[in-house]
Structure 1
């Protein structure tokens, strides 16, 4: 028996938390996790050896296997129990969202993607807010990015450049300009903003944000992060040739080896274009 398996078994046997069946199930889960860590190349581990890289590797493997989100979340509960018992709670993030694990309810439910329709857009009176919304839809931008963007500076010919001061986590990135629609939206944004941003002269970011929130609410527009979901799903289809799971396409575990390779490369591209550092987060947008 490997050291890790033995030490985890001892931890479980010394615990009296939960019913007998709960304790037995936890022990089985942790034994399987220890075996998988060994298969992933992490050898000579002990119970106190758990590190963030081990958790990331496990979650990545589970997502690639196409496991049900509920199954993954049960395993995450076991990992958090293990971390707590060895006084290393901070090794495992508190939120499963940190790892890009989809919600249980996402299986079989409607996509979170949102469409920006012309009739709703006409209800937006502020031209800067209206243009920011169009940029969100065309390039998958976050709300803050679409307000702070300086369109003339950002237009680098075949890609849209985003400054670190506009983006979440301070990570500069670029988004390709691939369609006539994107080019038309960007041209309109440049004409409106001139050499500045889509925050009009004389307004602060927080003031423009409040105007954005008020006008979108009055227009009946909500859950606008769904515009990023729609962008991601369209990019997935463009890159692979088939719809993503959340848009009615096949799940990853039904793809051939060649198709899985294309799927992974598409998800990596989308992750970079959306400004995420973890490939797993694309599962939230596109499904698994």
Structure 2
């Protein structure tokens, strides 16, 4: 069986679910595979599958499990990583159990030749760092500068926005695009409008269950209610959030209230915002297909759905401080900057104020007009 067949077959664990527990000592038992497969075997994918079955559900730092999305991303990356190392470097017999720094260095050199972004390189090495723990090599992966050089632009990942990723920054008017999207697909129209009105992540908008989502001040999370003392009504966002962290966003204007009324009228009680009968994966594919159809891509119009989240928090910051954020040209911290950033963090669903720099920029970093920096999806 050649590698392509193995990859599509049973060599790797099934996606979107937890691997079943194998009978101890059975040929399919991961421990049996790892103890019997010879080092450097051509059946490396089966060896990798056994390691994934044992460890892929584990969190890298905490005693808890991880999401299916994280498991999927790890599995896809690691399969491609070892395939690249074996086929595109001199290490044709690299075994998943004997991964070393020489293999990682060869892979990083490949990534650099392919012009991968700084964020991507850092993310890949982070997965390999976790993988090192799985195979009993906790200190395997070194700092990024060891592989790329201390003077490389990829040595440090700067999580401070220098370019405004809002749609308005690219002269794309949401209010003009929405009727086109809505006419083509009613549900995607609602989903993207939730991103625009409430700063939701696309996944949050697709998983949003409107019935019972409104909260009074007394019912809202204490930290969110305290951050917005002028509001009495909040919207609970808890499905599809990053890290499973729920948050309450204040309902502050008539446009938001009108949207919630339309969404609640369209969605059956207990259901999410999306075409009835669609799975989450089908809803996701449909969402991005529709946006691409109307040019909402980085390649065509220069904007993506996540840019509406950037726009929401930047517009809110400017409304509260009376001055543009650093990424929009502000060069000094306006009055109320600290409080506005604390509130922005709560709107975004983050506990750390410094995360707002990924959206708003920092006064110490002047905005750049050319060479857009990579977007940090937070």
Tell me if both proteins adopt one fold, taking TM over 0.5 as the criterion.
yes
**SS in structure 1 opposite 2:212?**
helix
Separation (CA, whole Å) in 1 of partners of 2:155 and 2:197:
30
* TM-aligned CA deviation for residue 208 of structure 1: 0.7
CA distance in 2, matches of 1:183, 1:199: 19
2:167 corresponds in structure 1 to 114
Q: 2: distance between equivalents of 1:90 and 1:145?
A: 35
Deviation, 1:89, is 7.0
**Matches of 2:281 and 2:262 in 1, distance apart?**
23
Which of 299, 308, 316 is 1:227 aligned to?
308
**Secondary structure of the corresponding residue to residue 166 of structure 1:** coil
Q: Alignment partner of 1:209: what SS? A: helix
Pick one of 343, 348, 355 that aligns with 1:281. Answer: 355
Shift of 1:152: 2.2
Equivalent in the alignment of 2:245: 171
TM-score, structure 2 normalization: 0.46
- Report the equivalent of 1:148: 207
- Pick from 165, 178, 182 the counterpart of residue 256 of structure 2: 182
- Indicate yes or no: 2:338 matched with 1:264: yes
TM-score, structure 1 as length reference: 0.59
For residues 119-148 of structure 1, the C-alpha deviation after alignment (integer angstroms, 9 at most, x for no partner) is: 322222111110010010000000000000
Q: Measured at CA, do residues 197 and 241 of structure 1 come closer, stay the same or move farther in structure 2, by a change above 3 Å?
A: same
Q: How many residues align?
A: 188
The residue correspondences of 1:185-264 to structure 2 (distance < 5 A) are 185-195=259-269, 196-222=271-297, 223-252=304-333, 259=335, 262-264=336-338
Work out which structure has the larger RCO, using CA pairs closer than 8 Å and 6 or more positions apart in sequence: 1
Show the counterpart of 1:102.
160
Cα 1:161–1:91 change in 2 (3 A) is farther
1:170 Cα shift? 0.6
Using the alignment, how far apart are the partners of 1:208 and 1:201 within structure 2?
A: 10
Distance 1:277 1:167 in 2: 13
Q: Which runs of 5+ in 1 are unaligned?
A: 1-72, 74-86
Aligned equivalent of 1:123: 180
The Cα shift of 1:88 comes to 10
The 3-state SS of whatever aligns with 1:151 is coil
**4+ residue segments displaced more than 2 Å:** 87-92, 94-97, 115-119, 247-252
SS at 2:318 equivalent: helix
Using the TM superposition, give the Cα deviation of residue 206 of structure 1 relative to its aligned residue in structure 2, in angstroms: 0.5
Give the structure 1 partner of residue 82 of structure 2: none
Q: Is the 8 A contact 1:242 1:249 kept in 2?
A: yes
Where is the helix percentage greater, Structure 1 or Structure 2? 1
Classify the secondary structure of the residue corresponding to 1:217: helix
Give the whole-Å Cα distance in 1 for the aligned partners of 2:359 and 2:277. Answer: 36
**Counterpart of 2:80?**
none
Does the CA contact (< 8 Å) of 2:203 and 2:241 recur in 1? yes
